[in-house]
Amino acid sequence: MNKWLDKPWMIRIVSLLLAVLLFVVVAFDENVYDDNDGFDSYFGTTNETQTLEDIPVRIILDEEEYVVGGVPETVKVTLQGSASKVTSIATRKNFDVFVDLEGLGTGTHTVPLEYSGIDEDLNVYVEPKEVEVSIEERATEEFSVNIDVVNKDQIEAGYEVVNVSSDPGQIVVTSSKSIVDNIAIIKGFVDVAGASESFSVDDVPVKVYDNQGNELNVRIDPPTVDVEVELASPNKTVPISMETENELPEGINLVSMELETEEVQVFAAEDYLATLEQISTQPIDLSKITESGTVEVNLNVPSEVRKVNTTTVNANIEVEKVEEQVIEDVPIEIEGEPEDTEVAFTNPASGTMNVTLSGYPSVLSEITPSDLRLFVTMEGQEEGEFTLPIRAELPDDIADDAEIELAINEATLTTEP
């Protein structure tokens, strides 16, 4: 053995074998502790492919001076290579995807999506690979906030919105100059459905619109405002006007028709109340009234009125029917009685008679015996017995409201010199 070792060529062979063995041991040790691949790296590599969704994209540019459009918020990244490295990066996601816009001027540019923080021995695919971006100068402007009130028609009856204010009243909008120049209105929305008193709403979102009503995606400071909504209940008390239609049935006379409630409290807008003088009832159909009583009638409430304290009223109606009244012993006068002639009644012998009046009680109650006049007229009658028609008269103001029925229509008289 010693003889073999003394030979130079043997020493060279042994040294070579030891060097190879040392290289293998060192390489194996580094892979075990650094990459956890063991012999796979050298004696059978294990590859893996993973696709990561929603990886955020960072923009490299002075965003205080410029506004960038066209850059996606997130992209899809596919990693391919050593299983351990792919798994480690996919788990930690400690890498960046970015677009570098430094040095580019305003306008439209096509730029690649780049990445950093990924080992060079991995294959990396970013989707999309490149994007078309627009770079514009940044603009900032202050705008007044308008608050739109929605569902006004569903507010509690009798109320109206008299004032709406926001705090703050103005907000600052930041975006590209072209977008800021196109801003038409800044709005917040507050719902008043069911409201019956003044109220406030905190943190109402503010939205920005252009002239076509399109919502614009801009930076708003502050993004919300506090809104105060002031309600009021304007009202006015007005008289009620009673309306009727058609005619009373024959033989029925209206004595009186009065409303139990003569006024109504009306809730409406101030400008409408200023012109409102009265509220009328729905027409009462007189043709259906046959006796005295109380009728419930609806009010004719205009559409501009939000609320009334009552929607119906009672009408007290008094009517009367034709009745008869007898006036007894009404004297019969003689017109044209000749001088120096004695005239006497033989029928009726008393020279008086009973008279029946027909009419409405309100009329009959006003007639006294002195209002009724019975008479006969003598015109050239000779001596002896003769018959004359009996005539009856009432005062002109009631003559048409009552009918006269005589017990007899003719009187028999005698004359003597």
Q: Is the pLDDT of residue 33 over 90?
A: no
- Among 48-57, 174-183, 332-341, name the one with the lowest average pLDDT: 332-341
* CATH level 3 topology of 235-320: RNA Polymerase Alpha Subunit; Chain A, domain 2 (2.170.120)
CA 99 to CA 116: how far, in whole Å? 11
What pLDDT is stored for residue 37 in this prediction?
45
- Domain covering 323-416 assigned CATH 2.40.128.30 in the classification: no
Amino acid symbol at 404: I
For the CA atoms of 35, 41, 46, 52, the dihedral, rounded to the nearest 10 degrees, stands at 40
Q: Do domains 42-137 and 323-416 have the same CATH topology?
A: yes
CATH number of 42-137: 2.170.120.30
CATH class of 145-232: mainly beta
Average pLDDT, the chain: 86
pLDDT of residue 273: 94
- Domain spans, the chain: 42-137, 145-232, 235-320, 323-416
> If you average pLDDT over residues 292-302, what whole number do you get?
95
pLDDT of 339 higher than 90 = no
How long a stretch of residues is the chain? Answer: 417
Choice among 14-28, 106-120, 286-300 with the minimum mean pLDDT: 14-28
What's the rounded Cα separation, in Å, for the pair 191 and 188? Answer: 10
- pLDDT band at residue 41, thresholds of 50, 70 and 90? very low
Stretch 66-83: mean pLDDT: 90
pLDDT tens figures, 85-143: 999 888 888 899 999 988 888 888 999 999 999 988 899 999 999 999 988 888 889 99
Q: pLDDT band at residue 36, thresholds of 50, 70 and 90?
A: very low
Give the model's pLDDT for residue 81.
92
Instruction: Give the pLDDT confidence score for residue 61 in this predicted structure.
Output: 86
Residue 185 pLDDT: 94
Beta bridge partners of 184: none
Quote the pLDDT of residue 39: 41
Query: How much is the pLDDT for 125?
Result: 94
Q: Which of 12-21, 176-185, 349-358, 378-387 has the lowest mean pLDDT?
A: 12-21
Instruction: Kindly report the three-state secondary structure assignment for every residue of the chain.
Output: CHHHHHCHHHHHHHHHHHHHHHHHHHHHHHHHHHHCCCCHHHHCCCEEEEEEEEEEEEEECCCCCEEEECCCCEEEEEEEEEHHHHHHHHHHCCCEEEEECCCCCCEEEEEECEEECCCCCCEEEEECCEEEEEEEEEEEEEEECEEEEECHHHCCCCCEEEEEEEECCEEEEEEEHHHHHCEEEEEEEEECCCCCCCEEEEEEEEEEEECCCCECCCEEECCEEEEEEEEECCEEEEEEECCEECCCCCCEEEEEEEECCCEEEEEECHHHHCCCCCEEECCEEHHHCCCCEEEEEEECCCCCEEEECCCEEEEEEEEEECEEEEEEEEEEEEECCCCCCEEEEEECCCCEEEEEEEECHHHHCCCCHHHCEEEEECCCCCCEEEEEECEEECCHHHHCCEEEEECCCEEEEEEEC
pLDDT in tens, 235-258: 999 999 999 999 999 889 899 999
pLDDT band with cut points at 50, 70 and 90 for residue 8: low
pLDDT above 80 for 317 = yes
| Rg of the chain, C-alpha, whole Å | 57
Pairing mode, strands 263-268 and 352-359: unpaired
User: Is the Cβ–Cβ distance between 214 and 184 less than 8 Å?
Assistant: no
Name which residue leads in pLDDT, 381 or 223. 223
**Mean pLDDT computed over 160-170:** 92
Across the range 272-297, mean pLDDT stands at 94
Greatest mean pLDDT among 4-18, 148-162, 230-244: 230-244
End-to-end CA distance of the chain: 210
